[in-house]
Structure 1
Amino acid sequence: MKLLVRLLRINCFLSVTLFISSCSGKSEKTNQSLEQSPFEGMVLIPEGTFIMGGTNNDAMEDELPPFKVNVSGFYMDQTEVTNAQFLAFVEATGYITEAERDIDWNEMLEQLPEGTSKPPDSLLKAGSLVFATTDGPVNLRDYSKWWKWTVGACWKHPEGPESSIENRMDHPVVHVSWNDAQAFAKWAGKRLPTEAEWEWAAMGGLQNPIYPWGNKSVNQASDQANFWQGLFPYHNSEKDGFFGTAPVKSFPPNGYGLYDMAGNVWEWCQDKYRFDVYSQYKKKAIIENPTGPETSLDPEDPFVEKYAMRGGSFLCNDSYCSGYRVSRRMKSSKDSGFNHTGFRCVKDI
């Protein structure tokens, strides 16, 4: 995704065409009860053993093969980190997010073809990627059709310099990179969840659910999460009541008391992303507390180190991205930010 960000920034200069890639059945709830946490806004996620990875026909290649995992108990934020919480962090530390910093051309050059000329300085100004609806159907493998590089877009200005979070303090913070999320987590005395912790928590005590709410089809679940209803990326019927992000706790929590484990915004995880890591895990009978691969590998963008994201966003739709499934994986470079990407934290017991 880092390469996408870099190329979109100078798309008009280089005239580059961008191509990247981005249930049914009954579920039975376990006898897990919602346990209180001594930490405000967090809940205790119990220790457990589960099958991690895709177990239904919608599974992507990087969700396979499924394998057995044991996860120790931990505390997890009930909600995605909000604008109000991130503002407190910024005011306390003076932190400046990566979307608020001008682009380092020498760093960008490492991700571009040899001989690429430097673009005008105006294209290297601080900004981020903002979703823009299209006029009609487009190639769903060409993400550049609905992502617009916007100078001035950042966590304080989600849609660009004219927008504001003044009335969105209870919405999840967006345009935060993995590095930004790490900085917040360290300040808060927490950390980012591993993919295994995130997936186990998203299941909410259900046995192999497709979604955090169970197995009810997304076509019948507009009251369960914030995602795209209609024809992506040009018509959103907004059956769930929202076009963009929603205030946290707008939808029912899962069995562990966690909100928005599906939809709203993608959530950064601690792990590096590797498309074939599950094949490596499958070689063992059970994996204890996996923390991800030592090295990253994305065949579609092999020269950029990627980190994992989970949970889907308000842009997810079955036509191209079933990100609201508990096993669905996404990835991006650690310095990338978008207006559908946020995070939540965990804390060790």
Structure 2
Amino acid sequence: MLSMDSGAMCHNSAIPSRFAALEKSNDSIQHIKGQDQAEMVLIPGGSFQMGSTNFEDAQPLHQVKVNAFYMDAHEVTNAQFSEFVKATGYKTVAERELDPKDFPGADPALLVPGSAVFSAPKNVQNLQNHLQWWEYIPGANWRHPEGPNSQIKGKENHPVTQVAYQDAEAYAKWAGKRLPTEAEWEFAAKAGKHQSETYYWGSEKLEDGKWLANIYQGQFPTKNSKEDGFETTAPVKSFPANAYGLYDMEGNVWEWCSDYYRPDYYQHSPKDNPKGPNDSYDPQEPGTVKRVQRGGSFLCNDQYCERYKAGSRGKGEINSPTNNVGFRCVKDVK
């Protein structure tokens, strides 16, 4: 069902046990093929300043060390997720029947499988109530991201969306991988950039007149001018990679991380490979379980959701998928 959170709203078949042979690209970035045949990039590991002074829950800035790891070069695509479902018969959260016991007082007739979909309103009263542009659509799921009349045919190379946290986790396990920690994700996104950069790619939104990420242009949420060429998701690799060879670390779709979300975690985070708090707490919705999401989406903009910017944090209720949330995987270096 639709959570009140605005983070993302803004926001067993037999498989080989080892990677294919490591190969080096011409630009000295090391690449491998994962067990799901996804291109992965070696992230060297090291120390960095984690966080941002622009967002309260990303403070204080603190020194963090992460070990080397491999990361998917791009977000998991519809085609890749299709192979996972074909191999396992997996059914996502958005496709499953809803148990009336989990929704006391609700009309059972309304408890039908579906998910949240962004729908541009003709006008808005203010930007405080995100339910003005989000709607629970019966039949919306990863195969039909915007509802039963939509499809992913022709969008095989777009990032899969409408995946809950457990859906992303199940794919990662099948592929012999895992979801990144928040620290790993930020280290990879910053790719050695200076802490003062506004965006993960640098300080300017445009380069030679071209947008460097798939975010929202125009008047949010009523008029998307689509200056970057896309209204919703873009095919992976549509925008330049960062210095580590990673695509869409900003914009396109939010990406699940393995950490539980707490706004105060950075105040006592370990310095060595932090993995997040032991439980979840969001004062905006104390009764829900949330995990960290990173990178922003095609709906992020400076008017409403600025959490696509460097060092910022997103969050999502674990069972509330939307059509602007996806994921990518990582793998430990043996």
TM-score (norm 2): 0.88
Partner of 2:4: 4
Tell whether 2:125 aligns with 1:138: yes
Query: CA-to-partner distance for each residue in 1:7-61, whole Å, 9 max, x for gaps?
Result: xxxxxxxxxxxxx997xxxxxxxxx952233645000001111000004xxx221
- Whichever structure has more helix as a proportion of its residues is 1
Aligned partner (choices 312, 317, 321) of residue 328 of structure 1: 312
Paired with 1:92 and 1:118, the residues of 2 have a C-alpha distance of 35
Do 2:31 and 2:39's aligned partners in 1 also have CA atoms closer than 8 Å?
no
Deviation at 1:178, TM superposition (A): 0.3
SS in 2 for 1:308: strand
The 5 A counterparts of 1:176-325 are: 176-208=163-195, 209-217=197-205, 222-281=210-269, 287-325=271-309
Paired with 2:10 and 2:103, the residues of 1 have a C-alpha distance of 21
Q: Report how many aligned residue pairs link the two structures.
A: 311
Q: Which runs of 5+ in 2 are unaligned?
A: 12-26
Deviation at 1:207, TM superposition (A): 2.0
Tell whether 2:36 aligns with 1:49: no
Query: CA-to-partner distance for each residue in 1:317-346, whole Å, 9 max, x for gaps?
Result: 111111221311111121110000000000
Aligned partner (choices 157, 177, 184) of residue 170 of structure 1: 157
Partner of 1:68: 63
Paired with 1:161 and 1:324, the residues of 2 have a C-alpha distance of 29
Paired with 1:211 and 1:108, the residues of 2 have a C-alpha distance of 40
Query: What stretches of structure 1 move > 6 A for 4+ residues in a row?
Result: 218-221
Partner of 1:89: 84
Deviation at 1:306, TM superposition (A): 0.8
Partner of 1:112: none
Query: CA-to-partner distance for each residue in 1:210-242, whole Å, 9 max, x for gaps?
Result: 322111146987521100001100011101000
Partner of 2:75: 80
Q: Which runs of 5+ in 1 are unaligned?
A: 6-19, 23-31, 110-116
Deviation at 1:156, TM superposition (A): 0.2
SS in 2 for 1:37: strand
Do 1:36 and 1:43's aligned partners in 2 also have CA atoms closer than 8 Å?
yes
- Give 1:50's aligned amino acid: F
Paired with 1:207 and 1:228, the residues of 2 have a C-alpha distance of 25
Paired with 1:324 and 1:331, the residues of 2 have a C-alpha distance of 12
> CA, structure 1 residues 199+66, in 2 after alignment: closer, same or farther (shift >3 Å)?
same
Partner of 2:23: none
> CA, structure 1 residues 87+68, in 2 after alignment: closer, same or farther (shift >3 Å)?
same
Aligned partner (choices 302, 305, 328) of residue 344 of structure 1: 328
- Give 2:203's aligned amino acid: N
Paired with 1:243 and 1:136, the residues of 2 have a C-alpha distance of 18
TM-score (norm 1): 0.85
SS in 1 for 2:166: helix
The 5 A counterparts of 1:30-49 are: 33-37=28-32, 39=34, 40-49=38-47
Do 1:262 and 1:323's aligned partners in 2 also have CA atoms closer than 8 Å?
no
Partner of 1:156: 143
Query: CA-to-partner distance for each residue in 1:40-93, whole Å, 9 max, x for gaps?
Result: 5000001111000004xxx22101111100011000000000000000000000
Paired with 1:221 and 1:274, the residues of 2 have a C-alpha distance of 38
> After alignment, is 266-275 or 321-330 more displaced?
321-330
Paired with 2:28 and 2:180, the residues of 1 have a C-alpha distance of 21
Query: CA-to-partner distance for each residue in 1:229-271, whole Å, 9 max, x for gaps?
Result: 0110001110100000000000000000000000000000000
Deviation at 1:143, TM superposition (A): 0.9
Paired with 1:144 and 1:313, the residues of 2 have a C-alpha distance of 17
Paired with 1:80 and 1:21, the residues of 2 have a C-alpha distance of 19
The 5 A counterparts of 1:98-113 are: 98-109=93-104
Paired with 1:162 and 1:235, the residues of 2 have a C-alpha distance of 22
